[in-house]
Chain A
Amino acid sequence: MTALGGLRLAIPRGTLFGPTLALLDRLGLDTAELRTNERRLLFPELGVITMRPSDVPTYVEAGAADLGITGRDVLLEQSQLDSRHGRQIYELLDLGYGRATMVLASPAAGEDPAALALRRLGVVRVATKYPRIATYHMERTGRQAEIVEVKGSVELAAAVGLAEAIVDLTATGRTLAENNLVVREEIAVCTARLIANPVSYRLKAAAIDRLVERLRKDLEDGPEDRADLGSPA
């Protein structure tokens, strides 16, 4: 039996990877191999699998992993906002780290180009890696928007006029500032979350509850500054 009680946990590579490994260390897992071997994806001796953050809900929903750790931004984008279209998973715990804010930002110089576009053209172009969050936010606030999905650095889209505004995740605001963008609206605060497959949540209830209990205790004991770890720039 592993330190995870025989459960399979999907963890995200990327900015959340470091603090997630630190968390696993505190749970008593030997993460040396996870830290050194970047190409290996499966760590059956630990009960851990690694993947990109946005794939975590897919594996957990299908039951290929009992539990997963991913950002709330990923969960929101995959539509936990609406249970009918949301993923069939449980969101068990706010792990506190990877803290960042989903914001609407636009170029700082002069009048807000997003507001200007809405006033004169009736529609604002919003570039984002999070099309569903952006669509939901604009609809909820009663503004017509054309959502432009990009995969890479979204700041560029506003800087060169592909869009008047962007919706993106920011922790320090440094990247936004360097590209002359300012935050106009805060949409949601995002942290790392522990999610569970609904069948595992019942069939492996005891093991899952034990792990959640240890994680809760770790959160209570944890140093305050841990919240800053693993945040994107």
Chain B
Amino acid sequence: MVHPLPSGTRDVLPQEAAELRQIGDALREVFLARGYGEIHTPALEYEEVMARGDLDRLPPAFRLFDEHGNTLILRTEMTTPIARVVASRYADASLPLRFCYQATCYRAVRPQRGQSRELVQTGVELIGSPAPTGTAEVLSVLVEALAACGLRRFRVGVGDASFYPKLMATLGVPEGIGAGLHATLGRRDLVALEERVRAADLPEPAARLLIAAPQLRGDISLLERLEGEVREAAEGLLRLAELLEGPVLERLIFDLGLVREIGYYTGAVFEVYDPALGQPLGGGGRYDDLLARFGRPLPAVGFALNLEGLHIALAGEERGER
């Protein structure tokens, strides 16, 4: 007799569980060695707490009421709960603060796409360390952790959430048009981006840059070759790259068009890729405004990896997929 499970959830049996634990342990070992203390928070949070993050882009799968009528949600990510912890429990602590976690998160899914409502995320948050120092540290932890869990062919895409807005400001794009262009880039629709830029009737060199610059992606030599307004807007990435060492740098793909969909990112953004998986394994970035929403304005940066995605990529690499 087969008993049903809530859609988007599943059981993990011993062999898979053992393999997942091995990956999680390898990651945690790196996090702890780099000074990131493990933290647990409740799976349930008040909706108003999670709403200070980005519930619009990471919609919750489950909402419920407690006996007093408060709306609770099963957490959609761990960055916002950790921001809450820092504001309430570390009000006077010396900075920076370093936390790591492995936690089950719950998200609404797109219909009929076989996505999980329940997913295990593992990652770190570095709070109180501004760009570019903090960003460089977290990128180095990310690369070390991915290598430690046995992944060989991964790359980390690095972009800057403020790059395109800065470029548009320098080129004198009116604000009303700029918001639309940025949203179109976020939808990864480069055809519509070009159409919108052309329709905005901007002077020629500016229009060409607005179309071409977000398509630039490549290794460090790409950043070094940048000129003029584009170089100016990529200043943050150039300063970050100066702090990165060879083993980290050679894993990076600098991507001037990378826009993470989550709304709280303010500066550098990351995505993790592996040729064995068609979608990113995780990502992160700087969120310098989020802590202020909890009354404790602090610069912060972090990343989260999808444990199941890592497992699929590792298995794919072992099978020698393209």
* A residues whose Cβ falls under 8 Å from a Cβ of B: 61-64, 80, 83-86, 88-94, 193, 197-203, 205-206, 209
Contacts and interface: CB of A to CB of B under 8 A. Distances in A.
Interface in B134-191: 155, 157, 183, 186-191
A64 B278 CA distance: 7
Contacts of B59: 84
Given A202-B157, A202-B273, A205-B253, A80 B189 contact: yes
B157 A90 contact: no
Contact of A198 (B186, B189, B280): B280
A206 B111 CA distance: 34
Nearest to A191: B191
Contacts of A90: 188-190
A61 B279 CA distance: 7
B157 A91 contact: no
A183 to B, nearest CB: 23
B243 interface: no
Q: Which 4 A-B pairs have the closest CB atoms?
A: A63-B278, A83-B187, A90-B188, A91-B189
A63 B279 contact: yes
Residue of A89, A90, A209 most packed against chain B (CB within 10 A)? A90
A33 B279 CA distance: 32
A202 B191 contact: no
Interface in B181-208: 183, 186-192
B189 A197 contact: no
B218 A203 contact: no
B187 A203 contact: no
Given A83-B186, A205-B217, A205-B218, A198 B279 contact: yes
Contacts of A202: 155, 157, 217, 253, 255, 271, 273
Contact of A203 (B186, B215, B261, B273): B273
Nearest to A85: B110
Contacts of B157: 202
A78 to B, nearest CB: 10
A93 B57 contact: no
A75 B70 CA distance: 41
Nearest to B195: A94
B277 interface: yes
Given A202-B217, A202-B253, A205-B253, A62 B191 contact: no
